[in-house]
């Protein structure tokens, strides 16, 4: 009778040990850092937000990569000339500009890197 109790206790201990080990392994896999980031993009025309999109990008992506993933983009010599069919008008001095997290960027969209949860806002407006 004592041998049966010992065998049952040993079996329970073995199952418990394997279940803990299995949980630990799955938690370690879930904690593994992702190579993807999410960036929120907004288009603003005539002082109105017209479109918003959240874009999944690889780490170290640029503003331009996310913009092109979300909308049709035209550019000339590194300057964005149209987004989603909305074009700049150089004669009226209306141009596309952008901010990241509310601050004007000091690099072109093709050079500026984005980070996870950044908010990028493109605005089509008259430049004074």
Domain coordinates of the chain in residue numbers?
Answer: 1-32, 36-126
Residue 94 scores a pLDDT above 80: yes
Q: What are phi and psi of 102, to 5 degrees?
A: 85, 0
CATH fold for the domain made of 36-126:
Ferric Hydroxamate Uptake Protein; Chain A, domain 1 (2.170.130)
Residue 66 scores a pLDDT above 60: yes
Average confidence score pLDDT of the chain: 85
- What pLDDT, on the 0 to 100 scale, is given for residue 51? 95
- What pLDDT, on the 0 to 100 scale, is given for residue 17? 53
Residue 21 scores a pLDDT above 80: no
Residue 67 scores a pLDDT above 60: yes
What is this structure's pTM? 0.73
Q: What are phi and psi of 32, to 5 degrees?
A: -65, 130
Distance of CA 44 to the CA centre of its chain: 19
């Amino acid at each position: 009778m004592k041998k049966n109790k010992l065998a049952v206790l040993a079996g329970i201990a073995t199952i418990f040990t394997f279940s803990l080990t299995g949980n630990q392994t799955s938690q370690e896999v879930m904690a593994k850092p992702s190579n993807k980031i999410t960036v929120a993009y907004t288009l603003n025309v005539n002082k109105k937000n017209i479109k918003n999109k959240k874009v999944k990008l690889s780490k170290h992506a640029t503003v331009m990569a996310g913009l092109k993933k979300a909308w049709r983009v035209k550019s000339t010599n590194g300057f964005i000339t149209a987004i989603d069919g909305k074009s700049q008008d150089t004669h009226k001095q209306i141009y596309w500009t952008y901010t990241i997290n509310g601050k004007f960027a000091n690099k072109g969209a093709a050079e500026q890197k984005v980070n996870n949860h950044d908010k990028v806002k493109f605005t089509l407006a008259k430049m004074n």
